[in-house]
Chains A and B, each alone.
Chain A
C-alpha cells in the first residue's frame, strides 16, 4: 500500500479522488435506480377475445382508478368508447396499469401478456365503440412508402418526437417519448387514439395509407445504420457541440500538454 501513500500527495490526487467518487456514485445510481421504461415489444397475434376474462382482469388491475364499470373516477378517465386500440396501446406499452400519476405515465415492462391485453381490450370494446386494433396489413412497414412517410413525419411528428424519432421535451414536465421501442401496432394506435399529450390523427387527418407510410419511415429510420459513425443519440447539434468540446478540444489540448511538457527534472544533487 506504499504507492497510495506516495500517490495521494501528488497534485492530481485530489482530482482523481473526486473523479473516482463521481464515477462510483454514477454507476451505483444507474444500477440501483428503477427502470420503468424497459419494455418488451409484444408481437400482436389476433385471437378470439373472452370478454368475461377481460372484465375479470379489468376488475383486478384497472377498476380501482377507472371505476368498476370503466365509467372513470377523479383519478382516471372513463374508458367507455375509447376502443380496443387505445387499450392495446396503453397496456402493451406497459403504461397501464400506471404505477403512479406524474406529469406523464412512462413506458415500462408490460404487466399483462398479449392474450390478457387482448381480453381487456375486448372487454373495453364491448362497452361501446372506439377504434379497433389495426390489422397486420395496416401496420406492415414493408408496404409503406417511406419517402412520403418522411414528409408526413417532418410535417406532423418531428416537432415533438425529433427528426429521427429520438423524442423531445414538452411543456409542464411532459415529453414526446423516443420511438425506438414502439412496435408498428403501437405507432398506429398512438396516431389513432392520441395517448396523453399526443393529438389524435384520425383517418381523415392521416389516411391509413399515410399512417402506414409514417410507420415505414419510423421503423426504417431507427434500424438504419449511421453512415457517418456514431449517431451521438441523433438529437442534433447539442450533442455535437458537447462532443466537439469534450472529445475534440479535450484530446487536442492533451496533445498540446504533451508536446510542451518538459523532461522530468533530475534531483539537484545527483
Chain B
C-alpha cells in the first residue's frame, strides 16, 4: 500500500506545493505515517478534537462576553433575576444564555468540551504511563504532555471563574486564599494579581486575557510540538505477531487513517454536541450572581479541580504562627502537596525508571501493564490517591445522596487517602503477577480447549491445545529489563563506588523493586524463540523504506 503512488488529486496538490516549496518528499513520507489499530491509541485524539471545538466555540463566546466587573442592573429575559444588581461579566453571560441565538448551546458545548478535554488528557496520560510509552525516546513528549495537562487545568479554572456567578466567585475566593497562604509573598501576590481587595475590578479582565489569549496560545504551541514529535518518532505499538521495534503495524495516515480520524472527530463532536444539547451544564442563572456574603451547598469546582477541592475539604485546620506571620497549612498543604506529588512524580518518573533500571534502550514496543508490575502498581497508587481526593471533593453530595454523615465521610477520606493507595499498590502488584503467571501457564500448557476427556482410570481431564501464534506472540513480546551494570562489590570485596552512599543504595533498592517478582515467559518454552524483538524486521521488505525514523518503521497491512 505504502509503495503505491497516491491518486492524481493528491499528487497534483503535492506537486503544486512541491514546485513552490520543495516539500513533496517530506509530505510523501509523512503522509505514510502508520497509526496502530488499537482504541487506546485514540484517546489523545479526543483531547485534540475537544481542543479544536473549544477554540471554535470559545471564539463564538468572545463575541458577546464582556469581561468587566462594572455593576449593572439586569433587564434581560430571565425574569427571576429582573432588577438584580450584577457584574457586566455575569450579565453578558446571561445574555449569551437567553438572548443570543444559539448562545446557550455554544456555552454548553464549550463547557462539555472542556470537561472532555481534560478527561481525555487524563486517560491518554494514563495509557501512556501504564504501557511505558513515555520511555526513551519519548521522554520529552511526555513532559510536553504534562505541561499541556497542567495548563489545561489552569485554563479550565479560569474559564469557570469568568462568568462571575456564585460558583465561580466561590472558586475565585478559594484561589485568593491559596495565593494568600503562600508564605512571605502570599499577600503581595494576591494584591498583585487582584489589583486590590477581593474581588475588585481587575481580576476578571486579567483572567479573560489569560484565558482567551495567553494559555490557548501556549497550548496550541505545545500541541503542535507534541504532534510533530509524535509524527517524527512514530507510534508505539503493543507486542504481537510480526510486530517489532523496527516497524509499526497499523494503517497509514493517508488514506486509511485520515478517514478514520475524520470520522472520529465527527464522533467526538457528536457526543459533545449531544451532551451540550441534552445535558445542562453550569446553569449560571440558577446559581445567581456572586456576592461575597452568599454561598451554596454543592459548591464544587469542575471535575478536574475536584481532587484539590477534596484535599482542602479533608485537611485538618492547622495553622502556625511564626514571628508574627501565620502559616496556613490548612490551605497551603492541600493546594500544593497532592498536585505537586502527582505532577512532579509523573515528570521525574521516566528518568527515575531509566536511572534505576539502567535501561537506556530505545523502546517502540509498548509494555503490557502486567509485565511491569512495579510501574503499574505505582501508577495505581497514584490513581487511587487522586481518585480518593477527587471523591472527597464531592463529600457533601455523597453524604446527602447516600445518607451518610458528612463528618464520617471526612474522616473516612482522611484515613483512606493514606491507606487506600497502599492497598492499591499491593493488590495491583498481585494482580499483575497473577496475570503473568497465567501467561506463562498458557505458553507452557496451552489453552483450555473445552474438550473433556475421560481417561481409562476414570479421571476427567480437560484437553489443552497450544496457543495460537498470534496469542503467543503477544505473550512472548515481553522484553526483560537489562541487568543493572552496577555491581555490589568487586572481586576484592570492595563495594563499587556507584553502589555506595544513600543514592547508590536508593538506586539498588529501586532496581530491586523494578526487577523483582518477575515471571519469565520463555523459561519453559519449547526452546525456540520465534518472536524476539528483532526477529521480524526484514520479513516485509516491501513495507520498509529507508529514510527518516518514522518512515523506516512503517509497515502497513491490509
Q: Which residues of A contact B (CB under 8 A)?
A: 9, 103, 146-147, 150-151, 154-155, 158-164, 166-173, 175-176, 217, 220-221, 224, 226-232, 234-241, 243-245, 247-249, 251-253, 255-257, 259-260, 262
Chain A residues whose C-beta falls within 8 Å of the C-beta of B272 in the assembled complex: 248
Q: Quick check: B167 and A237 within 8 Å, CB to CB? A: yes
Q: Tell me the complex Cα distance, A200–B70, Å.
A: 36
Apart from A255-B268, A256-B39, A259-B42, what are 18 other A-B pairs with CB-CB below 8 Å?
A: A147-B81, A154-B166, A155-B291, A158-B297, A161-B297, A164-B283, A169-B397, A226-B280, A229-B108, A237-B282, A237-B303, A238-B394, A239-B397, A244-B115, A245-B303, A248-B115, A256-B45, A259-B264
Main secondary structure of the interface of B (DSSP, over half): helix
- B329 nearest CB across to chain A (Å): 23
6 pairs of residues in contact across A and B, judged by CB atoms under 8 Å: A158-B294, A162-B297, A234-B283, A251-B271, A252-B46, A252-B120
Q: A243-B279, A245-B119 are in contact. Are A224 and B296 (CB under 8 A)?
A: no
Q: Quick check: A248 and B297 within 8 Å, CB to CB? A: no
Chain A residues whose C-beta falls within 8 Å of the C-beta of B82 in the assembled complex: 147
Interface check B298, CB cutoff 8 A: yes
Chain B residues whose C-beta falls within 8 Å of the C-beta of A159 in the assembled complex: 294-297
Interface size on B, residues (CB 8 A): 73
Q: Tell me the complex Cα distance, A150–B394, Å.
A: 25
Q: Quick check: B407 and A171 within 8 Å, CB to CB? A: yes
Determine which of B39, B84, B116, B286 lies in contact with A163 in the assembled complex, contact meaning CB atoms within 8 Å. B286
Q: A234-B283, A236-B299, A240-B302 are in contact. Are A260 and B41 (CB under 8 A)?
A: yes
Determine which of B80, B395, B408 lies in contact with A221 in the assembled complex, contact meaning CB atoms within 8 Å. B80
Q: Quick check: A9 and B271 within 8 Å, CB to CB? A: no
Q: Quick check: B293 and A155 within 8 Å, CB to CB? A: yes
Determine which of B80, B166, B302, B397 lies in contact with A147 in the assembled complex, contact meaning CB atoms within 8 Å. B80
Q: Quick check: A235 and B294 within 8 Å, CB to CB? A: no
Interface check B37, CB cutoff 8 A: yes
Q: Quick check: B295 and A241 within 8 Å, CB to CB? A: no
Chain A residues whose C-beta falls within 8 Å of the C-beta of B296 in the assembled complex: 154, 158-159, 162-163, 236
Q: Quick check: A169 and B271 within 8 Å, CB to CB? A: no
Sorted from nearest, which 7 A-B pairs have the closest CB atoms? A168-B297, A241-B303, A228-B280, A169-B399, A244-B115, A256-B42, A255-B267
Q: Tell me the complex Cα distance, A151–B287, Å.
A: 10
Q: Tell me the complex Cα distance, A128–B393, Å.
A: 47
Q: Quick check: A260 and B405 within 8 Å, CB to CB? A: no
- B387 nearest CB across to chain A (Å): 11
Q: Tell me the complex Cα distance, A262–B256, Å.
A: 13
- B466 nearest CB across to chain A (Å): 14
Q: Tell me the complex Cα distance, A166–B400, Å.
A: 10
Q: Which residue of B lies closest to A152 (CB)?
A: B294
Q: Tell me the complex Cα distance, A173–B406, Å.
A: 6
Chain A residues whose C-beta falls within 8 Å of the C-beta of B280 in the assembled complex: 226-232
Which residues of chain B (482-509) have a CB below 8 Å from chain A?
none
Contact flags B379-413 to A (C-beta < 8 A → 1, else 0)? 00000000000000011110110011111100000
Which residues of chain B (277-326) have a CB below 8 Å from chain A?
277-283, 286-288, 291, 293-303, 306
Q: Quick check: A249 and B116 within 8 Å, CB to CB? A: yes
Which residues of chain B (72-94) have a CB below 8 Å from chain A?
79-84
Q: Quick check: A150 and B288 within 8 Å, CB to CB? A: yes
Chain B residues whose C-beta falls within 8 Å of the C-beta of A150 in the assembled complex: 80-81, 84, 288
Chain B residues whose C-beta falls within 8 Å of the C-beta of A227 in the assembled complex: 97-98, 104, 280
Q: A234-B283, A240-B115, A259-B42 are in contact. Are A172 and B405 (CB under 8 A)?
A: yes
Interface check B144, CB cutoff 8 A: no
Q: Which residue of B lies closest to A156 (CB)?
A: B294
Determine which of B37, B79, B119, B277 lies in contact with A260 in the assembled complex, contact meaning CB atoms within 8 Å. B37
Q: Tell me the complex Cα distance, A161–B450, Å.
A: 59
Q: Quick check: A244 and B116 within 8 Å, CB to CB? A: yes
Interface check B154, CB cutoff 8 A: no
Chain B residues whose C-beta falls within 8 Å of the C-beta of A224 in the assembled complex: 80
Interface check B513, CB cutoff 8 A: no
- A164 nearest CB across to chain B (Å): 5
Q: Which residue of B lies closest to A231 (CB)?
A: B280
Chain B residues whose C-beta falls within 8 Å of the C-beta of A260 in the assembled complex: 37-39, 41-42, 260
Q: Quick check: A151 and B288 within 8 Å, CB to CB? A: yes
Determine which of A167, A229, A235 lies in contact with B279 in the assembled complex, contact meaning CB atoms within 8 Å. A229
Q: Tell me the complex Cα distance, A110–B97, Å.
A: 41
Q: Quick check: B260 and A259 within 8 Å, CB to CB? A: yes
Q: Quick check: B116 and A248 within 8 Å, CB to CB? A: yes
- A177 nearest CB across to chain B (Å): 10
Interface check B378, CB cutoff 8 A: no
Chain A residues whose C-beta falls within 8 Å of the C-beta of B97 in the assembled complex: 227
Q: Tell me the complex Cα distance, A228–B408, Å.
A: 35
Residue of B97, B264, B397, B408 with highest tally of chain A CB at under 10 A = B397
- B438 nearest CB across to chain A (Å): 14
Chain A residues whose C-beta falls within 8 Å of the C-beta of B396 in the assembled complex: 168-169
Q: Tell me the complex Cα distance, A161–B295, Å.
A: 11
Chain A residues whose C-beta falls within 8 Å of the C-beta of B300 in the assembled complex: 236-238
Interface check B43, CB cutoff 8 A: yes
Q: Quick check: A259 and B80 within 8 Å, CB to CB? A: no
Q: Quick check: A175 and B43 within 8 Å, CB to CB? A: no
Q: Tell me the complex Cα distance, A112–B115, Å.
A: 49
Q: A163-B296, A166-B298, A236-B299 are in contact. Are A243 and B275 (CB under 8 A)?
A: yes
Q: Tell me the complex Cα distance, A229–B119, Å.
A: 22
Q: Quick check: A248 and B291 within 8 Å, CB to CB? A: no
Q: Quick check: B79 and A146 within 8 Å, CB to CB? A: yes
Chain B residues whose C-beta falls within 8 Å of the C-beta of A103 in the assembled complex: 405
Interface check B112, CB cutoff 8 A: yes
Q: A168-B297, A252-B46, A256-B39 are in contact. Are A247 and B275 (CB under 8 A)?
A: yes
Q: A158-B297, A175-B400 are in contact. Are A220 and B80 (CB under 8 A)?
A: yes
Contact flags B38-76 to A (C-beta < 8 A → 1, else 0)? 110111011000000000000000000000000000000
Chain A residues whose C-beta falls within 8 Å of the C-beta of B405 in the assembled complex: 103, 171-173
Q: Tell me the complex Cα distance, A139–B267, Å.
A: 50
Interface check B341, CB cutoff 8 A: no
Q: Tell me the complex Cα distance, A243–B271, Å.
A: 12
Q: Tell me the complex Cα distance, A226–B279, Å.
A: 9
Q: Tell me the complex Cα distance, A238–B390, Å.
A: 10
Q: Tell me the complex Cα distance, A179–B97, Å.
A: 25
Q: Which residue of A lies closest to B402 (CB)?
A: A169
Q: Quick check: A262 and B79 within 8 Å, CB to CB? A: no
Q: Quick check: A154 and B294 within 8 Å, CB to CB? A: yes
Q: Quick check: A235 and B298 within 8 Å, CB to CB? A: yes
Q: Quick check: A240 and B80 within 8 Å, CB to CB? A: no
Q: Tell me the complex Cα distance, A175–B399, Å.
A: 9
Q: A236-B167, A240-B281, A244-B112 are in contact. Are A169 and B400 (CB under 8 A)?
A: yes
Chain B residues whose C-beta falls within 8 Å of the C-beta of A231 in the assembled complex: 280, 283
Interface check B10, CB cutoff 8 A: no
- B51 nearest CB across to chain A (Å): 14
Interface check B342, CB cutoff 8 A: no
Interface check B263, CB cutoff 8 A: yes
- A172 nearest CB across to chain B (Å): 6
Chain A residues whose C-beta falls within 8 Å of the C-beta of B336 in the assembled complex: none
- B370 nearest CB across to chain A (Å): 16
Chain B residues whose C-beta falls within 8 Å of the C-beta of A160 in the assembled complex: 297
Q: A163-B288, A169-B406 are in contact. Are A249 and B120 (CB under 8 A)?
A: yes
Q: Quick check: A154 and B288 within 8 Å, CB to CB? A: yes
Q: Quick check: A164 and B116 within 8 Å, CB to CB? A: no
Q: Quick check: A217 and B297 within 8 Å, CB to CB? A: no
